Each structure stands twice: as C-alpha cells, then as structure tokens.
Amino acid sequence: MSENLKRLTEQGVSIWLDDISRERLRTGDLQSLIRDKHVAGVTSNPTIFASALSKGDAYDPQLRDLVVRGVDVGEAVRAITTFDIRWAADVLRPVFEATGGVDGRVSIEVDPRLANESAEKTVAEARALWWLVDRPNVFIKIPATLAGLPAITQALAEGISVNVTLIFSLERYRAVLDAWLTGLEQARANGLDVSTIESVASFFVSRFDTEVDKRLEKIGTPEALELKGKAAVANARLAYAAYEEVMSGPRWQALRAAGARPQRPLWASTGVKNPEYPDTLYVDQLVTSGTVNTMPEKTLDAVADHGNIDGDTVRPHYEQAWNTMAALKQAGIDYDDVVRALEDEGVEKFVTSWNELLGTVESELGKAS
C-alpha cells in the first residue's frame, strides 16, 4: 500500500502530515506513519489543534494541572500546543538526524491575529515559540502577508527556522524568496552558521481552485467552464519556475557557498475539496525534486492506495501552465483580485480558528475544574 508513497519520496518529494493530536502521539500513530507511510514531518495550525482538543481525553491531565495553576486561556493554549509540538519533534528526531536536518520537522504557527500587525510583535511571538518548544527541528510558521515579510527576514536573521505560510500569488512568493535571502544574508553578517537555518515556503493549492472555479462558474461560458480545476496546479507549477529562477541567481550562489540550504517549496492545502476531481490531484500533478507535500491523512491514504506517481509533473509543464493562466485571464479571471481575496480569507479563517481554539480550551478548562 505504501509503494506509491515510496515512489513519491524517491522523486524527491518529502511527505509531511498536516495534522497533530495528543491522541496520535500517545498511541504511537505518528511513529507508525513514519515507519509505514514515509511521513517525514508534521504541520499544524489552530484548526487542527481545536479539533484535537474537542475529541477524547488525551488532554485531560494537563488541563487539570492548568486549572490548578490558575493560568489564563492564552497561556493554557501555548502550554498545550507547545507540549504536542515538542513531543512530535522528539518522535521525528531520528528522521531529522538521518536527513541531516532537512526533514523530521514540526511546524507551529504564530498567533494569526498578528498577521497584519507590526513585524516586532510577530518576531517577539516567534522568539517565544522558538524558546518554548526548544527543539532544533521545529519550524515557526509566519504568514506571508505584507506585514509578515520583514518578520520573516528578522526571524531568519536571528537563526530561527521558518515555515512561511499563506502564499497564494507568484508576486508574493518572489517577495518571500527575497525576504528569505535577505534573512540569511543578515544571519551570515551576524556571524551565525547559516547551514543550521532551515526554511520552507508553503504555497497553497486547493484553495486557489476553489476560488477560481467559483468565478468561472459565474462567468459560465463553455471556455470558462473548461478551465475548472486547472488553475491551482498551473499556479503552483509557475511558483516552482520562479523558485528555479531565483535559485540560479548570484545571491543564492553566494549563500550556498557559505553552507546555506535552499528554502524548499511546500505544497500546502493539498486535500481536494471538489469531489468531482481526483482525490490525489494536488499530489500527482506536483511531483518534482526538492519539494514538500503536506497532506491530511485522508489524502495520504488516497495517494498510498491509488496515487499516480510517474516522474516529474512540474518542470516539463511550464509552458502549459503559462497557457492556462493566459486562458484564465482571457476568460475574465482577475488574478490579482483572486489572490487578494484568498489572502484576506486565509488570515480571517486562521483568526477564526484561533478564537475557536481559545474557546475550546476555555470550555475544557471549565470541565476540568
């Protein structure tokens, strides 16, 4: 069953699980996924934690302790989430060591309510999480909003490994690459060992199709409807083209000579939302070396069962991707408006999830008291 996943890793794609829970950790389920399904990393977000807390009793002992200590809900959330991240990081530590620090990574997000706040606030949050988790294989997730870009640079300059999240547009992705390069250059100038600073850039996939398909259906012409389900893969493929272009430039070559590691593209939001599309679409069509694909378990199982992993499906298709984007524009799709709407919605969804997480923790603390 895991032959497809093995082939995916052989193509240079790191498989990460887009989920975490105390139950998954205490039962050894994560360890099993590492052993049996080639999982080499974990990503988390507020929605995942809120879901984990609302199920089962795995958090009850810690919740009782937090009640006894009389902590507020904000401190409780940080205590609970960083506990899980530390545990997952320890489970993945052998992968981290076996891959020389490339994989075996676990991501935790800064408070999403800071997405449009000052860089100073976001960096302070990133430092706090870096210190609280205190594991070399943690990634601090910082959103790629305009306000987030200088925070990404500053965090990297201080030696904090960063997972840049919520990237939708090619223009913003180029800005992320610039922020990453600048951060590494500053870290090097600060005398830090740049070989120890890792980063990934999470380019969101399925949400792009969801938004574009909605607009294509509204346009309703045969030409528009023919383009449904094609925008997200094309957008992601062109992001990889931008990555290759930047990585062939002199800034990266100088950093590489100093021992720096590339900021790998990470395909995020790869669970297929439209049941009319193949459920492995955003894995099968985005296979190329030096990338990460973080999947919900349902998608992981689908790829293991019937994924079509057959060579590089990104680099040979740049021209097709450009043609798709040109056809979308001709059909009446405003790219800039699409990505603006997706970023605004993405931030709003994460803030909503964070508030739900706070509410869930508050409720669970009440039950434990």
Work out the angle at residue 358's Cα, subtended by the Cα atoms of residues 356 and 364, and round it to the nearest 5 degrees.
100
- Are 234 and 325 in contact, with CB atoms under 8 Å apart? yes
CB atoms within 10 A of CB 336: 9
Q: Which residues pair with 217 in a beta bridge?
A: none
User: From its phi and psi, is residue 229 left (phi > 0), alpha (psi between -120 and 50) or beta?
Assistant: left
CB atoms within 10 A of CB 277: 16
- Are 146 and 212 in contact, with CB atoms under 8 Å apart? no
**Active site annotation includes 228:** no
With 0-12 / 13-18 / 19 or more C-beta atoms within 10 angstroms meaning exposed / middle / buried, residue 290 is middle
**Pick from 208, 248, 238, 220: nearest CA to 337:** 208
Backbone phi and psi for residue 59, each to the nearest 5 degrees, phi listed first: -95, -5
Exactly one of 141, 218, 228, 329 is catalytic; name it: 141
Q: Measured between alpha carbons, how far is 151 from 120 in angstroms, rounded to an integer?
A: 7
In this structure, what token pair is assigned to residue 80?
């609970």
Amino acid letter at 303? V
The upper half-sphere exposure of residue 322, i.e. CA atoms within 13 Å in the direction of its Cβ, equals 6
First and final C-alpha spacing in the chain: 45
**Pick from 7, 40, 5: nearest CA to 312:** 7
**Pick from 85, 87, 92, 64: nearest CA to 76:** 64
Place of tokens 């430092």: 127
- Active site (catalytic) residues: 141
